[in-house]
Amino acid sequence: MALPENTLASARQWDAEDPLLSFRDEFRIPQHNGSDAVYFTGNSLGLQPKGAQAALKQELEDWARFGVEGHFEAKHPWYSYHEELTDGAAKVVGGRNDEVVMMNQLTSNLHFLLVSFYRPKGKRVKILTEQRPFPSDTYALASQIAFHGLDPKQHLVEVQPRNGEHTLRTEDILAKITELGDELALVLIGGVQFYTGQAFALEAITAKTHEVGAIAGFDLAHAAGNMPVQLHDWNVDFACWCTYKYLNSGPGSVGGAFIHQRYLKADLPRFAGWWGHDKNTRFQMGSEFSPMPTAEGWQVSNAAVFNMAIHRVSLEQFGRAGMQRLRAKALQLTGYAEAIINSISAKYNVNLEIITPSDPEERGCQLSIYAHGMGKDLFDKLTAQGISLDWREPNVIRMAPVPMYNSFEDVWRFGEALESQMKG
């Protein structure tokens, strides 16, 4: 993004022309010295929609009024509550309605899906992931490998960036898949890398994975609600995601899962529970499991209604905003922030290295800044000025201007705070 003029007036003019600006008023923004903080940590925890309180109150009132009958008599009946989320969630991740279900939480869903999709046999035992995925993924993958009596040190493979580079090249990921060949059982990487903010080429990775006869799955924790994905059209085998980051559904909120339709009626192994049983006969309490012929067949437990109540609010907002419009604004916000950071780096002869790819197609809302020689001290000083950022060892400041509620003025204020620290 060119930076012909970087003034408060120009930032406010861009905001005035923003078709999504009104969504900002639908969120509760943390305060700093009586004013809105600059909240750039939606990649860790999204802001609270103002509609969340009323949504929770509705469920509490229905619980008080109906007791157990709320499963069928509540305004949003609890028995089928997850069904109200399916269409909106499917639109966010590019799935068919029968391929998507909201249930459990992210790592729980990953484990349940790996039961079905990681089936090591013969030579085909290895899992490929990116270097330094989010630790929970490493723990889950290693424990699944060990569960099958295999050695994670041998069979969990991380594809590495080239020497001197921070991010992965798509051709290197594809080459590693080809190299592993018939030893590869599963590829499981993040849609967007949590540390660097790199968005991976999921369609190309899926195609290459299938070419060698393996399964392609993705952790969309940092991708769902961040950038458009088309899981069905890209032929992805499975995916899972959380809803407390870009999907603004509250700490520890409900997770999501995608299973491609070709598997929905397949005889796959799974860990079964009664909420995955055919809903038409569920209350007959039969002893044999008859799975739903949709992604719902991977459910094990009742709907987490209070969590889902907030997610329903969020999905309604995403439905109105639209992923394509959000994506367009995200590129503008990150482009503006990138230009400001690079301008300050050059002006003050400091090394604020943006390790997130400069190609907009390879990133979402997040920029990761390697602050050479400044690091945690710079982060602490910006925090004290009301700039909410995220610190990751050894020396990276993550910032995520989220298009649903962040403004161009937020980015300008960040730039002013950053420059004030360079002045000393």
What confidence tens digit (pLDDT) does each residue in 269-296 have? 999 999 999 999 988 888 999 999 999 9
Residue 265 shares a structural domain with residue 369: no
In this structure, is residue 95 part of a structural domain?
A: yes
In this structure, is residue 70 part of a structural domain?
A: no
Whether the bond between 394 and the residue before it is cis, its omega within 30 degrees of 0, is yes
What's the domain range around 93?
A: 81-321
Closest of 86, 111, 139 to residue 269, by C-alpha? 111
pTM as predicted: 0.96
Of the residues 321, 355, 390, the one at which a domain ends: 321
Residue 358 shares a structural domain with residue 212: no
For residue 374, what pLDDT is reported? 85
In this structure, is residue 72 part of a structural domain?
A: no
Q: What percent of the chain has pLDDT over 90?
A: 92
In this structure, is residue 143 part of a structural domain?
A: yes
- The answer to whether residue 3 scores a pLDDT higher than 70 is no
For residue 393, what pLDDT is reported? 86
- The answer to whether residue 120 scores a pLDDT higher than 60 is yes
In this structure, is residue 348 part of a structural domain?
A: yes
For residue 317, what pLDDT is reported? 98
Q: Would you state the structure tokens that stand for residue 274, as one six-digit string?
A: 């009664």
What confidence tens digit (pLDDT) does each residue in 215-254 have? 999 999 999 999 999 999 999 999 999 999 999 999 999 9
Of the residues 290, 321, 352, the one at which a domain ends: 321
Average pLDDT score over residue span 343-356: 94
Residue 276 shares a structural domain with residue 395: no
Residue 113 shares a structural domain with residue 218: yes
Measured CA to CA, the distance from residue 47 to residue 250 in angstroms comes to 8
For CA atoms 152, 100, 242, 106, give the dihedral sign. Answer: negative
For residue 4, what pLDDT is reported? 55
Residue 295 shares a structural domain with residue 415: no
Residue 254 shares a structural domain with residue 214: yes
Q: What is the CATH number of the domain that holds 136?
A: 3.40.640.10
Contact indicator for 298, 113 with CB cutoff of 8 Å: yes
For residue 119, what pLDDT is reported? 97
Residue 249 shares a structural domain with residue 309: yes
In this structure, is residue 53 part of a structural domain?
A: no
Residue 30 shares a structural domain with residue 129: no
What confidence tens digit (pLDDT) does each residue in 168-178 have? 999 999 999 99
Residue 87 shares a structural domain with residue 176: yes
In this structure, is residue 399 part of a structural domain?
A: yes
Of the residues 260, 290, 321, the one at which a domain ends: 321
The total number of structural domains in the chain stands at 2
Q: Which residue has the tokens 């799975």?
A: 291
Q: Which residue has the tokens 């609010």?
A: 313
Residue 183 shares a structural domain with residue 297: yes
In this structure, is residue 60 part of a structural domain?
A: no
